[in-house]
A and B are shown apart, each in its own frame.
Chain A
Amino acid sequence: MTAAVEGISRPAAGSGRRAAPYMNPYVAGVGIGGILLLAFVVMGRGLGASGAFSTVVSVAVADIAPAAASSNEAFARYLGDGTTSPLADWVLVEIVGVILGGLMSARLAGRFHFMTERGPRAGVRARLAFAFAGGTLMGLGARLARGCTSGLALTGGAMLMPGAWIFIATAFAAGFAASPLFRRQWL
């Protein structure tokens, strides 16, 4: 038990011994805050993540069922007015950057591995099922709240937007409240 708890603050077992230690969290935070500020100053908008999923899913729905997509505002708003490609979207391009940036960083730090991060008591299948289900809930929650950790919590938090702080408070509270249910997945 003790070993498992200690292990969590280091690169997970199996991640390889060569992996470099993680950056100080405050340095990473100030870096991300600086990037967010740069987005505000240059673009007049914050960061995003869930919006990229909305764009890709809406484009896919429009491909399969064009009429259904254009008549549903939840999809239609990500399809644009037809003058430009809906895939030429700021958040989607930003997320492509996030993927490339994450990949480069992990490669250079010796942290790129095909593996499943899970607690010592969690099976791979259960972990992947929980990950998929958790992702589904986050997709629903982020759409309902109009953003996720990036587009609402960080962006709206820095802008002193009341709804962002409501989201931060309820998301953390719900995460802590539900954590005993998923203990086996992690510890």
Chain B
Amino acid sequence: MNMPFYANGMFGDGAGLTFALVIGLAFGWFLERGGLGNARKLAGQFYLTDMTVLKVMFSAIVTAMLGLFWLNRVGFLDVTRIVVPGTFVVPQAIGGIIFGIGFVMGGLCPGTSCVSAATGRRDGFAVVGGMAAGVLLFGLLFPVLRGLYEATPMGNVTLPELLGVRAGVVVFGVTAMAIGMFTAATAIERRVNQGGGKA
């Protein structure tokens, strides 16, 4: 097996874009089916009334992570050919803080705002408009923000490399953490929604 196929030159850009459309269709379908086009449902995550965001996000991460791990292990896939944004500690920490505040304020993230707007929600359109404004603002401020944007680069280092342990150890740890969080999330959701505690 010669995975990833595109990165190994097995098909061209046109086929890649057709595949992008298919992948997007499926992604949008599952986001909407899971209720992630609904801002109230997403915002419920931050008030502990609805843990859908956490459950969907971590089951998606664990599924893809386990697939990558095993395909790499049996030699079908070369994970080093996969493109990732790279780690920049400080801008990703600060970006995460700004993003998190925006998330609870707007109730949707960039991908889900597109689903929300596509299903007729006006608040979805407002988040989409805000996203465009934010991206424009970043561009206009880029001369000032450049130093921060490029600060603390760590390249394509992975968590196992950083911690000096085998990949399997981290994969097991993330899976165990996710299962622990799912159990806790369900218990918290039940308690909060039954009026057992103030959200």
- Could you list which residues of chain A lie within 8 angstroms of chain B, going by C-beta atoms? 2, 5-6, 8-9, 11-12, 22-23, 25-47, 49-50, 52-54, 56-58, 61, 72-75, 84, 88, 90-91, 93-106, 109, 111-119, 124, 127-179, 181-183, 185-187
B12 to chain A, nearest CB (A): 12
Contact of B68 among A26, A37, A42 (CB under 8 A): A37
- Known interface pairs A135-B133, A136-B131; A118-B52 also in contact (CB < 8 Å): no
The answer to whether B31 and A9 touch across the interface, beta carbons within 8 angstroms, is no
The answer to whether B44 and A8 touch across the interface, beta carbons within 8 angstroms, is yes
Please name all residues of chain B whose beta carbon is closer than 8 Å to the beta carbon of A50 when the two chains form the complex.
110, 131, 135
B98 to chain A, nearest CB (A): 3
Judge if B79 is at the interface, Cβ distance under 8 Å: yes
Given contacts A44-B4, A90-B16, 11 further A-B contacts (CB under 8 A): A29-B57, A33-B59, A33-B64, A98-B31, A100-B25, A103-B119, A131-B127, A135-B127, A137-B130, A139-B131, A150-B109
Please name all residues of chain B whose beta carbon is closer than 8 Å to the beta carbon of A138 when the two chains form the complex.
98-99, 102-103, 106, 109-110, 127, 130-131, 134
- Known interface pairs A33-B61, A106-B119; A146-B104 also in contact (CB < 8 Å): no
Contact of A185 among B22, B36, B107 (CB under 8 A): B107
Please name all residues of chain A whose beta carbon is closer than 8 Å to the beta carbon of B176 when the two chains form the complex.
none
- Could you list which residues of chain B lie within 8 angstroms of chain A, going by C-beta atoms? 3-8, 13, 16-17, 19-41, 43-47, 49-52, 55-65, 67-68, 71, 77, 79, 81-89, 91-124, 126-139, 142-143, 145-146, 148-149, 154, 156-160, 162, 167, 170-171, 174, 182, 189, 192-193, 195, 199
Please name all residues of chain B whose beta carbon is closer than 8 Å to the beta carbon of A104 when the two chains form the complex.
25, 28-29
What is the bound-complex CA distance between A182 and B123, given in angstroms? 15
Please name all residues of chain A whose beta carbon is closer than 8 Å to the beta carbon of B99 when the two chains form the complex.
137-138, 141-142, 145, 148, 167, 171, 174
**Number of A-B residue pairs with CB-CB distance less than 8 Å in the complex they form:** 557
Please name all residues of chain A whose beta carbon is closer than 8 Å to the beta carbon of B63 when the two chains form the complex.
29-30, 32-34, 36-37
- Known interface pairs A117-B107, A161-B158; A139-B5 also in contact (CB < 8 Å): no
Q: Looking across the interface, which residue of chain A has its beta carbon closest to that of B134?
A: A139
The answer to whether B34 and A101 touch across the interface, beta carbons within 8 angstroms, is no
Can you list 20 A-B pairs, Cβ within 8 angstroms, ordered by A? A31-B30, A40-B67, A43-B7, A94-B21, A96-B21, A97-B21, A102-B37, A102-B115, A111-B119, A128-B123, A136-B133, A138-B110, A139-B102, A154-B64, A161-B86, A167-B95, A172-B100, A174-B100, A176-B104, A179-B104
